[in-house]
Amino acid sequence: MIVVGKTDSFERKYMEKFRLFASEFGEFINYEHDRGARDIGIHLTHKLSSGKERLSTSLCWFQMKGIMSSTLSSAKYKDKKDVSIQIKVDHLRYWYLQAMPTYLVVFVECEDEFLVTNIQKYVSDNWGKDILKLGQKTATVLVSK
């Protein structure tokens, strides 16, 4: 018997919620293999008066994370200004150096909402080039509500 873990099931559900929401803005792109430390990309489109869409020259990437209700209750979430996520420093370095933007998206299950931050800007504002020599394995990223 094959068993799907609770976190895998949770990730599948919030990824589909995100795809449903973001499908209005463009065409999804994915790595064939999980090598890019980014979950999903969107090649943005422009809506035309004819009802058709035209692909733009813009592409952005998203790294998805989720916080289950069992980890963060609605009552505790309401008191917070932001949520914290542990991220590998190697990933922060990689995203910081990319030419195309990467956004960190956190799904908060207790409120059924997505929080989004431009991770390149976050790294620039909080560490700048010092991220390239940061000696720790992980770092805490605060995502504002």
- Give percent above pLDDT 70 in the chain: 100
The confidence band for 62, taking pLDDT boundaries of 50, 70 and 90, is very high
Q: Is residue 73 part of a domain?
A: yes
pLDDT of residue 43: 96
111 has pLDDT over 90: yes
Q: Is residue 1 part of a domain?
A: no
Q: Is residue 94 part of a domain?
A: yes
The confidence band for 108, taking pLDDT boundaries of 50, 70 and 90, is very high
Q: What span, in angstroms and rounded, lies between the C-alpha atoms of 23 and 32?
A: 19
Cβ neighbours of residue 101 closer than 8 Å, sequence gap 6 or more: 60, 61, 118, 120
93 has pLDDT over 90: yes
Coil, strand or helix at 101: coil
Number of domains in the chain: 1
> What amino acid is encoded at 26 in this protein?
G
**Tally of CA atoms within 13 A in the half-sphere of 95 that contains its CB:** 26
* CATH at residue 110: 3.40.1350.10
The confidence band for 119, taking pLDDT boundaries of 50, 70 and 90, is very high
Structural domain harbouring 76: 6-144
Q: Is residue 133 part of a domain?
A: yes
* DSSP assignments along 12-78, one per residue: HHHHHHHHHHHTTTEEEE--SSS-SS-SEEEEEEEE-TTS-EEEEEEEEEEEEEEE-TTTS-HHHHH
Cβ neighbours of residue 19 closer than 8 Å, sequence gap 6 or more: 28, 40
